[in-house]
Amino acid sequence: MFEIPKRIGHNKALDAAVESLVHAHVALVNHRNAIENADSKAYLRAVQALQGTLGDRGMWRVSETLCAAVLLGLVEVSFIFRDL
């Protein structure tokens, strides 16, 4: 997590995943139960950015792309905990 800030701005998938994770974190901190519209849109943008990056032969194996996938996994887990 400490390495992520210096990698922001170099990979669209990572940038979108970080944005989605921030939305998810704010929702968890504020104890929101339903998935908010902004959260859903940020998550969808992140998934689409990751799909695009995975389709790019030059980008699919870089560490930022793997990091984006892991961050999206954390977002998905936060959706589960938020609904409990």
pTM, full prediction: 0.84
The answer to whether 58 and 73 are in contact (CB under 8 A) is no
The answer to whether 14 and 62 are in contact (CB under 8 A) is no
Domain containing 47 equals 4-82
Domain count, the chain: 1
Give the CA-trace dihedral at 25, 30, 33, 39, to 10 degrees: -40
| Per-residue pLDDT tens over the stretch 8-64 | 999 999 999 999 999 888 887 887 655 566 678 899 999 999 999 999 988 888 999
